[in-house]
Amino acid sequence: MLEKKEANYEKVVLVGLITREQSEEKLTEYMDELEFLAYTAGATVGERFTQKMDRPDSKFFVGSGKLDEIAAFVEEYNIDTVIFDDELTPSQLKNIEKVVNKKIIDRTQLILDIFAQRAQTSYARTQVELAQYQYLLPRLTRMWTHLERQRGGIGMRGPGETEIETDRRIIRDRITLLKEKLKGIDKQMATQRKNRGALVRVALVGYTNVGKSTLMNVLSKSEVFAENKLFATLDTTVRKVVIGNLPFLLTDTVGFIRKLPTQLVESFKSTLDEVREADLLVHVVDISHTSFEDHVNSVNQILAEIESKDKPTVMVFNKIDNFSYVQKEEDDLTEMKFENYSLEDWKRTWMAKTDYPTLFISATEKDNLEELRKTVYEEVKDIHTKRFPYNNFLFQYYEEEDMTEEE
């Protein structure tokens, strides 16, 4: 529980619902993720508020009594921001603000804010700005009341922060301009992809914060920014990698997440083109995370949306050094729970039945990386052989002494 006076950083509370479609267990997972998102954005969470309802209330999202409870807590403990786990409608935002006289944002706006913080290149900043404007347009009246109060911080970064006079027509013009700018950059990137030649393309895909950038650094011996926060990498990074004497292109892509805002999926389509045009996907999974199966399903769903689900794939279960489980007593006859499955137990489940090579590694501890290199080598060689059946001089068979990385 927060004390009434805190340090000078943004204090937030989280709000979520248990519904017919979302169980209490599932809500807990989403709220844990929402708290990590808030931490990534630069906030500290003071309290979580949850309520059980058949469906979200059309007026306040939560019940009026629960909203009064939130408003009282926010006032007593001087909370800066209330963050809702689901995207709120413009009318819900307006109604909630009348009761809770504080900054109100939803999961979508929080993710957009993190993207605004993390975007480094002109291309990424343009993509994020477009997504922000698309989110902003139907909420224009509500957002401008915020701007008149001159509030900053989480959810308030980005377009229009000082331009109170901006209207819908100017917003639409800006969206059109940004789309045209992205089209121009997309053409440049498409040309760059063509100029990379006939090298086999391998793309790292996976949920956010599963260790893709760390794995990229280990495989390519380069320095790609990696951090234990969500969406540490927004800009696509491409490196030429040579295993044995077989070269290929390795791409690190933006991480996926559940409830990913549709505006971001639309804006980052060109970034996802790197995945679409890849010859081989390396699907990285954080096996130490209790929801890793949901993460796999979320990634597969997005891959299906961009027509990339049926590509050759290597499943890489990372962070085995962080994996832990609770062993059941021999006389315990209760049903096995998630936390009772050991790594060996998991290896005997659906993971053993997949059509793709499946590996268990630790990118930070460099456990089983040699096996990963060998597997990637064989997959890339197979693709290269089919593409250039008479071009055998480019590679040799995998030799252990050629592949061993110098420590």
pLDDT digits (tens, 9 = 90+) for 150-159: 455 666 665 5
CATH superfamily of 199-328+336-387: P-loop containing nucleotide triphosphate hydrolases (3.40.50.300)
pLDDT value at residue 115: 80
318 is in an annotated binding site: yes
211 is in an annotated binding site: yes
The Cα–Cα gap between 399 and 401 comes to 6
232 is in an annotated binding site: yes
Q: Which residue, among 167, 9, 10, has the nearest Cα to 102 in the 3D structure?
A: 10
Measured in residues, the chain has a length of 407
What are the backbone angles phi and psi of residue 129, rounded to the nearest 5°?
Answer: -60, -40
9 is in an annotated binding site: no
Pairing of strands 201-206, 103-106: unpaired
CATH superfamily of 11-115: GTPase HflX, N-terminal domain (3.40.50.11060)
- Is the Cβ–Cβ distance between 231 and 254 less than 8 Å? yes
316 is in an annotated binding site: no
251 is in an annotated binding site: no
191 is in an annotated binding site: no
- Is the Cβ–Cβ distance between 284 and 210 less than 8 Å? yes
pLDDT value at residue 402: 42
> Is the CA virtual torsion 274, 275, 280, 282 positive or negative?
positive
Tokens for 248, please give them.
Answer: 């290929």
375 is in an annotated binding site: no
320 is in an annotated binding site: yes
Tokens for 225, please give them.
Answer: 């920014």
The Cα–Cα gap between 51 and 296 comes to 28
* Half-sphere exposure in the Cβ direction for 292 (13 Å, CA): 23
pLDDT value at residue 84: 96
Q: How many C-beta atoms surround the C-beta of residue 266 within 10 A?
A: 13
Establish whether domains 11-115 and 199-328+336-387 are of one fold.
yes
The Cα–Cα gap between 407 and 405 comes to 6
Residue extents of the structural domains in the chain = 11-115, 119-150+159-182, 199-328+336-387
> Based on the number of CB atoms within 10 Å of its own CB, is 2 exposed (0-12), middle (13-18) or buried (19 or more)?
middle
The Cα–Cα gap between 254 and 272 comes to 8
Q: Where are the alpha helices (DSSP H) in 211-329?
A: 212-220, 262-267, 269-276, 292-305
- Is the Cβ–Cβ distance between 269 and 130 less than 8 Å? no
252 is in an annotated binding site: yes
126 is in an annotated binding site: no
- Is the Cβ–Cβ distance between 142 and 116 less than 8 Å? no
212 is in an annotated binding site: yes
pLDDT value at residue 123: 77
pLDDT value at residue 267: 62
117-132 burial by CB neighbour count: b if 16+ within 10 A, else e? bbbeeebbbbbbbbbb
Tokens for 174, please give them.
Answer: 């800006």
* Segments of the chain with pLDDT less than 50: 1, 3-7, 142-150, 161-164, 393, 395-407
Side chain identity at 316, as an amino acid letter? V
364 is in an annotated binding site: yes
Report how far apart, in Å, the C-alpha atoms of 43 and of each of 16, 19, 37, 353 are: 18, 27, 9, 42
235 is in an annotated binding site: yes
Q: Return the ∠ at Cα 275 (arms to 272 and 279), rounded to 5°.
A: 160
The Cα–Cα gap between 317 and 60 comes to 41
253 is in an annotated binding site: yes
The Cα–Cα gap between 245 and 260 comes to 39
Strand residue runs (E) in 157-208: 201-206
| Radius of gyration of the chain measured on its C-alpha atoms | 24
359 is in an annotated binding site: no
Distance of CA 306 to the CA centre of its chain: 16
The Cα–Cα gap between 114 and 386 comes to 42
Q: 362: left (phi > 0), else alpha (psi -120 to 50), else beta?
A: beta
